[in-house]
Amino acid sequence: MADLIQEEWAEQLESDNNAVILDVRTEEEYEEGYIPNAINIDIRQGQGFIDELEKLDKSKTYYVYCRSGARSAQACNIMNQLGFEEAHNLLGGIMEWEGETVEE
């Protein structure tokens, strides 16, 4: 797992053809605004979160974020334990994100 500051996270994401953006916040938080093209899997679902992760392609590179960076760091650790080799945590989360966001 790599903890990346916003600039590194955004730069790597932009140049990565194998990238998937993963938002691990609650559905309510997600609907308030998210990074474009992010998929939402709530880490607070416990086993449900793990079940959803198991459906993902482990060969992809995952750019993971939450509100502040704590849940996404935890998610990256879980992903590494499940065999995901590339999971990058956004330090500071969406609270410090200065890029584009989408609201539902």
Structural domains of the chain ordered from first start: 2-96 (3.40.250.10)
Q: How far apart are CA 39 and CA 46, in angstroms?
A: 17
When computed from its CA atoms, the radius of gyration of the chain, rounded to whole angstroms, is: 12
Q: Is 76 a catalytic residue?
A: no
DSSP conformation class of 36: T
pLDDT tens, position by position, 9-29: 999 999 999 999 999 999 999
State the catalytic residue, choosing from 41, 66, 76, 79.
66
pLDDT tens, position by position, 47-99: 999 999 999 999 999 999 999 999 999 999 999 999 999 999 999 999 999 99
Cβ contacts of 82 within 8 Å, gap of 6 or more: 50, 53, 54, 58
